[in-house]
Each structure stands twice: as structure tokens, then as C-alpha cells.
Chain A
């Protein structure tokens, strides 16, 4: 069974916030949530990660629900260069990474 579930695609207007949801209802207490993105077929790039608390860095914010069963990646001001596939990932047993099938974000002018 997939550890994460994501919508296959989303649209966002340039300059607006992009909110990408992820469901990880079977996550365990010590398993982290990571987000990466992939442009075309290049190697994925790290965005952000968290365990329980909300996190923010220069790229994005990560909101994790209190029960940890879902999370949302927020790109505050999407640009055309943010068009990519975004992966929600659960890190289990400290060393294993389970990728979701990804959300294709289309940022439109």
C-alpha cells in the first residue's frame, strides 16, 4: 500500500500561493515527511521536511496536521519556474524513503 497519496495535477496562477496536499494516514510517530520536486526528468530537488511542527524555509512552508495524517506544501508566490512534479515522501526507519506518485503543478501566467 502506498504510504502517501497525492492528487495527480493542480493548476496555480503565477504570483498566487500554491497549496499542494498529501495524505499519509498510516504514518508512524517517528516517520518524517519530506517534499521534493522534479523538473522534467532531472534528479529530484529537496524542498523541505518536518516531523510534527510546521516548518518554513526560503522556498516553502510545510503544514502538518495535528494527527499527522496529512500535510500541505505551500509555495507562497508561485512563479513559472515552479512548474514541476512535487513529491510527498515518508521517511521510515530512518533510512527508507517512500515516494508518492507526485502532483504535477502547472503555474500559469
Chain B
């Protein structure tokens, strides 16, 4: 089944403790992206990747890192999480000019 898989689905952590949210897709898509969703603000793009070893900033990249060492994986890294990064995070992947994105089920992160 074609899917985008995020782990973990729920995470509670404390300020300053490094964490990684994984994202994996099995559709051989070139394009992958991370978003955060906060109440009343819709989704905001954090980082995206056009292909392996090619990443670029979205609208709200501060406090986040990403890497794309393999085509199927695009982890989101929070080196020193802060409470303002408490949010619902989505990973998405797509391919081709139409760039129709398939989204994962989301990761709900709470930073205390």
C-alpha cells in the first residue's frame, strides 16, 4: 500500500532534549516536505527536499533541521526543542510537475 509513515505519532518531551521525528515513503517520490499545524494558522512549511542531498527552507525553518540521505526517508530534527515547537507535524511526499502531495498521519509533539 502506498503510504507516508511518520513516527512517533505522539511525543511528549522536555525543553532542550534533542529529538527526531522520522518520515518514510514507499512511492519512490523525489519531493518530500515537513509542515507544522497550529490552531487557526493552517499548515506552514518547515523544510522541503527536491531529491537526495537537496534540501531547502520553507516558511518557518527556525529551530529545525532535516536531512535527505536516502530517497525514502526525510527525518525532522529538533536539536533543542522549546515549548513554542509544540504542534502537530505532517510529512508529505510527491513527484513530478503536478506535485500532488501525499500526507502522513501526523505527529503530535508536546514540549514541556
Do A and B pair up? The answer is yes
Interface size class of B (residues with CB under 8 A): 20 to 34
Segment of A9-17, A37-45, A63-71, A76-84 in the binding face:
A37-45
- Beyond A41-B37, A43-B105, A98-B59, 10 additional pairs, beta carbon < 8 A: A43-B92, A44-B103, A46-B101, A95-B48, A97-B33, A97-B101, A98-B45, A99-B44, A101-B40, A101-B42
Least CB separation from B103: chain A residue = A43
Q: Which residues in window 17-45 of B have CB below 8 A to A? A: 31, 33, 35, 37, 40-45
User: Residue B50 at the A interface, CB < 8 A?
Assistant: yes
Bound complex: CA A49 to CA B45 (Å): 18
Least CB separation from B101: chain A residue = A46
Are A43 and B104 in contact, with the CB atoms below 8 A?
yes
Least CB separation from A93: chain B residue = B56
Least CB separation from B94: chain A residue = A46
Q: Which residues in window 21-65 of A have CB below 8 A to B? A: 36, 41-46, 49
Distance between B64 CB and nearest chain A CB, rounded to angstroms? 15
